[in-house]
Amino acid sequence: MHKEESKEKVFLGFWIYMMTDLLMFAVLFATYAVLKNSTYGGITIREIFDPPFVLVETLILLTSSFVCGLALLFAKAMDQKKTIYFLAATALLGVAFLGMEIYEFSHLLSEGNSYTQSAFLSAFFTLLSFHGFHILVGTVWITILLVHIAMRGLLPSNIRKIRLLGIFWHFLDVVWIFIFTIVYLLGGIL
Amino acid sequence: MEFLFGRLTLGALPHEWFTIGGTVFMTLAMIGVVAFLTRMKLWKWLWHDWLTSIDPKKIGIMYFIVAALMLVRGGLDAGMIWLQQVMGASSGGYLSAQHFQEIFTAHGVIMVFFVTMGFLFGFMNYIIPLQIGARDLASPFLNTLGFWLYVAGAILINMFFVFGGEFAAAGWLSIAPLSGLEYSPGVGMDYWIWSLQISGIGTTLGGINFIMTILKMRAPGMTLMRMPIFTWASLCSMVMVVIVFPLLTATVALLNLDRLLGMHFFTTTAGGNAMMYTNLIWMWGHPEVYILMIPALGVYSEVVATFSGKRLAGYTSTVIALNAIAIISLFVWLHHFFTMGSGANVNAVFGISTMIIAIPTAVQLFNWVFTMRKGRIRFDTPMLWFLGFVFTFSVGGMTGVLLAVPPADFQLHNSLFLVAHFHTMVIGGALFGIFAGFSYWFPKFTGIKLNERLGKYAFWFWIIGFWVSFGPLYILGLMGAPRRLERYDSVTGWQPLFVVSLIGFGIICIGTAFLVAQIIVSIKNRKKYADLTGDPWDGRTLEWSTSSPPPFYNFAVIPEVKNRDAFWEMKKEGKRIKSKYEDFEMPKGTATGIYIAIFAFFFGFAMIWHIFWLAIACALGIVAFIIFRTFYENTEYEMKAAEVEKVERMR
Amino acid sequence: MNIKIKIGLALLFFVELFYFGLIFLSDLNFQLLNPQGSIARQQRDLGMLVIGILLVVAIPLIGAMYWFAYKYRAGNKKAIYKPDTRHSKFTELVWWLIPAVFIFILAIITWNKTHALDPYKPLESSVPPVRIQAIALNWKWLFLYPDYNIATVNFIQFPQDTPVNFEITADAPMNSFWIPALSGQIYAMSGMSTKLHLIADNTGDYRGQAGEINGRGFSGMKFIARASSREEFENWVGEVRRSLKTLDENEYSTLSKPSENNSVTHYSSYEQNLYNKIMMKYVVPDGEKKMEEM
């Protein structure tokens, strides 16, 4: 028991890590804010913004966060089967989100609106794909976690990993809310 | 071919005298080391006892070794810069402009990133667990990973000697748009980007680890306000690391995107904003110098209290001052570019916020003055370094406040006055602190006291050499000499001062030779200089309560702390630490850190030369190792009480 | 005291003495200490004032430190030894207050002087100012005189006791425009225009230079700023106007290509709107052409 308690310090470390990640996002948000209007005669955020599409993306992520939360609850109740189902659902929703993002990007690129076009597009692509990259890392993490759980069951160490994953996944959700608000809503509507 | 080797063509290989010389030297050195290790059959010992060790004490010593090697490299750069500037009157000299600029860029990056940071991380690794009464760091694995990433960055920055190309020539911060693809198309800037990126991630991991360690691993009874000042200073510094290093990582990544994918963050065209780069890089760059400075302030506080035989005056004030310096320094970055035309209001606000840092710094001086008052001061080498530091640091501090006044800065910015100022702070502050700490804790590292006489020679040569070499730079600054000139008109009358400055560099070199001689002589006569007590200076903090060098588990019995200066109080009460041993867990050594760092190194190398298949392979390798590590559950083993007793008896 | 420490201190003292000797006795050209214009003079006076105020705190503090180091040395058994002295909260408060008061004074000075010496602020004078537009190229300075329609490379001349208003931009990496004897520096950046105002009290040739590293031609990127009488200035303008070279579009595109250690060149005229065209080039696509249409 003493040994497990001492492992709890990993949460402090993970929160600090999340803060460093948040700061990197902060830099990207700041550059986006500075470069928002530097379209250099190219496409603006108003022309990119497709409300239903982004709304679906948002709903997918929000659902995945909810599902991820459920997975943790089942894990704490030691229900291994449901934990695995819900974690898998989280990962699938993450993949769906990634698919939509890749579709949006390829659509933009095919119309000639590449990230080399203007400073605004550079900032837009970078901010979104940095978030997308985190989602990718998250889904890979979930996959490995599923292997762990399938192999060894709901050990305390695996439950701890689900909790850490939860922090990570909710964090990505929050960042997306910021992207949704700052990039799409404030840029596309106001 | 281009798919296989990217930009690494035959034409890129070394073909100038200095790169060929570097290649030959590096290759011979490598062959020599390999031959020596093979002949002495030391490979196994090296791999098991050192390279894969997770013992923070061993990692600390490895940090020292790498940092010392890099100090030699950076020092050679400094000598080459000075020599060129002496010869540079009326278009003379032996270096091309490009080469000169590469050298001062490398000098800055190496001295800040790989020398000062390396030494400080070395101290923290070795000393912090001992000072807080812990057996290990919070995450031994992150620690070795961080160290090996730092080594990977250090090797990468020297790699252009072997594989040629060029090095970055845009100053240590690579200010955009000069560092962009348009004006620096070569691989040099990519060397800079990737070695900073890789070692920067290592530093961030180290920062997270030390915060966890200090907050979660303290011995029972050691509250935050009972922690030794060096630990406090390290905590402040590491908090700053985790705040600002992500900014560096993100900023350098954006610069890299500009160069790699043709994006437009910091370019002059297509709406890019180069001023944003200046802002972002200094948001990291200014706190960075305080990250170097604050642990050194902590070292001085330990040294003054110990050698005055007296408790530190105003412990609370010191802690508040350290925190204040750390926090305020996050909000002053704009003083590095008053001349960008931000307007009087912005400039004045940042100028004043910069000056405010002088208040806690002055408080530190008051603390030390009143610690010495009514003390019993012994002038061993660490104390001499401290007394030398006080003078240089005060001059540096005053010129710093002067530079914080925007109208004065308009004249002194980009001048040699500025160069002299920050060298006063980094050498007179951080490096002297490192030397003080090194001579202070060397008996703890090895169980051998250093030869005092040679140490004192080293000190006097250093301090006199320092003023002979940097005094002229202050004067040159007042004569309106800009920094980074490799050639100038002889009518300016600058040459004699550069000559004096070079003489000073020679004196510093002699001082460094004495430092090296001191270590060699002391180790050679280790019987004579042996310290068997573990407490040669009549120390005050817990690191002196264990033997020298400490056993790998640091403390057989975790001490219980009731006061500040825990060990001093224990000695006063005459209580020996009770010797009832218990079982405890120790981490196992692991090679995963070194493997990941090797992949990271080749990843960086491949990205520099645009060998993308290798980059992808290395990235997958890193991911595979991390995944593999998650399946490896038994990272610790049990240390039985009987075993501890056996080790303790043998001492 | 140990004899070696004495020798060391004596050497240090000697080093310091050497510097003071150098400053006071030599004929070194201290451009910042012997300013030739009112802006640079005010900047110097401000610097001296700040250092003076700081020395008031620093000298007693540092002096006390070394005095205590001497007095409470281990060899001096007569000195009091109190290893457990605790200082009252009040004493600690004083340590904070003393530097705070001095920094407060300095802050007020800084605030006022930063506004008074804002390089963007035009200088008051009865004489109408001379306007000069400076453009940092790789690696030379191009100067335009919009009021006279002449252009020069790496050389400027202006009358003494007359305000000179600079507008500064770049068609190259970021740079810094600096004439140490006359005033502080200000950055030159592409796509935007910065301002600098200065005045020369005496006639003479002053060294001007690039302050910010910008590539291999950096050290050769210097110019001469000549302050002369009004009459000589008018003569010089006439001389430049008689130059055979003109700065048209072709000539500019040749000039703006990287070149090092350029010699002084005079252009009898230059293409209208050149300064704005150079700036606009970086702001919108085909900015040069759009400027032409305007």
Residue C24 CA to residue C45 CA, distance in Å, equals: 17
pLDDT of residue B473: 93
d(CA B95, CA A44): 49
Q: Which of C72, C102, C95, C58 is nearest to B314 (CA)?
A: C95
Which pLDDT band, with edges at 50, 70 and 90, does A1 fall under?
very low
Q: Which residues of A touch B273 (CB under 8 A)?
A: 34-35, 38, 119
- Domain A48-189 - what CATH class? mainly alpha
CA pair distance B580, B200, nearest whole angstrom: 43
Give whichever of A48-57, A82-91, B558-567, B587-596 has the largest mean pLDDT: A82-91
* Integer Cα distance of B47 and A146 in angstroms: 35
Per-residue pLDDT for C23 more than 90?
no
CA quadruple B614, B615, B620, B624: dihedral positive or negative?
Answer: positive
Query: What is the distance between the alpha carbons of residues C227 and C238, in angstroms, rounded to a whole number?
Result: 16
Q: B344 with C115: CB under 8 angstroms? A: yes
Of A39, A119, A144, the CB nearest to B273: A119
Cβ-based neighbour number of residue B197 at 10 Å: 21
- Chain CA centroid to CA B206, Å: 12
Q: Is residue B2 part of a domain?
A: no
Return the pLDDT at B386: 95
Closest to B452 in 3D by CA, of B387, B508, B389, B518: B518
pLDDT at residue C214 tops 60: yes
**Minimal-distance CA residue of chain A relative to B283:** A27
Work out the pLDDT band at B638, boundaries 50, 70, 90.
Answer: confident
Give the contacts of C265 (CB within 8 A, at least 6 positions apart).
Answer: C152, C153, C154, C245
Residue B117 CA to residue B122 CA, distance in Å, equals 8
Nearest to B271 among A20, A35, A144 (CB): A35
pLDDT at A2 over 60: no
Q: Provide the percentage of residues in chain C whose pLDDT is more than 70.
A: 93
Average pLDDT, chain B: 91
What is the sign, positive or negative, of the torsion defined by CA atoms of A110, A114, A118, A122? positive
* Domain assignment present for B334: yes
Q: How many domains does chain B have?
A: 1
Separation of alpha carbons B631 and A13, rounded Å: 20
Is there a domain that residue B597 lies in? no
Helix H or strand E encompassing B586? strand B584-587
**Cβ pair C115, B348 in contact under 8 A:** yes
> ipTM of this model?
0.94
Tell me the C-alpha distance between B506 and B104, whole Å: 18
Q: List CB contacts of B595: < 8 A, sequence separation 6 or more.
A: B625
Q: Which amino acid is at B374?
A: K
Chain A contacts in chain C segment 270-289 (CB below 8 A): 284-285
Share of chain B above pLDDT 90, in %: 68
Tell me the pLDDT band of C287, cut-offs 50, 70 and 90.
low
Q: Is pLDDT of C193 > 50? A: yes
d(CA B307, CA C83): 11
In this complex, the residue of B242, B254, B265 whose CB is nearest that of residue A16 is B242
Residue of B nearest to C218 (CA): B485
Interface of B with C in 608-627 (CB under 8 A): none
Asked whether residue B26 is assigned to any structural domain, the reply reads no
DSSP A164-185: HHHHHHHHHHHHHHHIIIIIII
For C241-263, how does the pLDDT look when each residue is reduced to its tens digit (9 = 90+)? Answer: 999 999 998 999 999 999 998 99
Cα B49 to Cα B37: distance, rounded to the nearest angstrom: 14
Using one digit for the tens of pLDDT, what is the confidence trace for B355-413?
Answer: 999 999 999 999 999 999 999 999 999 999 999 999 999 999 999 999 999 999 999 99
Q: Tell me, what DSSP letter sits at residue B587?
A: E
Q: Which residue shows structure tokens 């910042």?
A: C32
Chain A residue set in contact with C, beta carbons under 8 Å:
40-41
Chain C environment of B98 (Cβ under 8 Å): 216
Mean pLDDT of C114-137: 92
Question: Of B17-31, B513-527, C31-45, C194-208, where does mean pLDDT reach its minimum?
Answer: B17-31
For residues B488 and A90, give the distance between their C-alpha atoms in angstroms, rounded to a whole number: 65
B494: left (phi over 0), alpha (psi -120 to 50) or beta: alpha
Cβ atoms of residues B192 and B118 within 8 Å: no
Given a contact cutoff of 8 angstroms between Cβ atoms, the answer to whether B215 and B258 are in contact is no
Is the pLDDT score of C29 beyond 50?
A: yes
From its phi and psi, is residue A35 left (phi > 0), alpha (psi between -120 and 50) or beta? alpha
Q: From the list B268, B275, B337, which residue is nearest C282 (CB)? A: B268
How close, in Å, is residue B162 to chain A by CA atoms? 33
- How far apart CA B401 and CA B421 sit, in angstroms, is 10
CA distance B374 to chain C (A): 5
User: Which chains neighbour C (Cβ–Cβ under 8 Å, 3 or more pairs)?
Assistant: A, B
Say if B374 falls within a structural domain.
yes
Put simply, the answer to whether C69 touches B387 (Cβ < 8 Å) is yes
- Residue of chain C whose alpha carbon sits nearest to that of B569: C84
Residues of A in contact with B263 (CB under 8 A): 115-116, 122, 125-126
Is B545 a member of any domain?
A: yes
Using a CB–CB cutoff of 8 Å, tell me whether B208 touches chain A. yes
Q: Do B405 and C61 touch (CB under 8 A)?
A: no
Quick one: pLDDT at residue B444? 94
C100 touches chain B (CB under 8 A): yes
Closest-CA distance, B391 to chain C, in angstroms, reads: 7
CATH number of the domain to which B121 belongs: 1.20.210.10
- At residue B534, the pLDDT reads 86
Of the candidate ranges B350-359, B537-546, C27-36, the one whose mean pLDDT is the lowest? C27-36
For residue C195, give the chain B residue with the closest CA.
Answer: B341
Pick from A3, A9, A20: which is nearest to B246 by CB? A20
The reply to whether residue A116 touches residue B262, judged by beta carbons under 8 angstroms, is yes
Q: Is residue B611 part of a domain?
A: no
CB contact under 8 A, C54 and B402: yes
User: Any idea where the domains of chain A sit in the sequence?
Assistant: 48-189
pLDDT at C27 over 70: no
Q: What is the pLDDT of residues B260-276, one digit of tens each?
A: 999 999 998 888 899 99
Which chains have 3+ CB pairs within 8 A of B? A, C
* pLDDT tens column, A17-45: 999 999 999 999 999 999 988 888 888 88
User: In sequence order, which residues have a C-beta less than 8 Å from that of residue A188 and are 6 or more positions away?
Assistant: A45, A46, A48, A49, A51
Q: What is the pLDDT of residues C2-16, one digit of tens each?
A: 666 777 777 777 777
The answer to whether B303 and B440 have CB atoms below 8 angstroms apart is yes
Which residue segment(s) compose the domain that B58 sits in? 42-590+635-650
Asked if the C-beta of C193 comes within 8 angstroms of chain B's C-beta atoms, the answer is: no
Q: What is the mean pLDDT of residues B620-648?
A: 85
In a domain, B343, yes or no: yes
On whether the CB atoms of residues B266 and B272 are closer than 8 A, the answer is: yes
> How far apart, in whole angstroms, are the C-alpha atoms of residue A145 and residue A94?
15
In this predicted structure, the answer to whether residue B486 has a pLDDT above a threshold of 60 is yes
Q: Is the pLDDT of residue B48 over 90?
A: no
**Alpha-carbon distance B628 to nearest alpha carbon in chain A (angstroms):** 10
Give the phi and the psi of residue B385 in degrees, each rounded to 5: -55, -40
pLDDT band per the 50, 70, 90 thresholds, residue C290? low
Closest CA to C99 of B619, B304, B358: B358
For C100, nearest residue in chain B (alpha carbons):
B359
C61 interaction partners in chain B (CB closer than 8 Å): 362, 365-366, 369, 394
**Where do we find the tokens 């308009």?**
B410
Q: Is the peptide bond before B462 cis (omega within 30 degrees of 0)?
A: no
Confidence of residue C292 (pLDDT cuts 50, 70, 90): low
CB contact at 8 A, C155 and C264: yes
Q: DSSP secondary-structure letter at A180? A: I
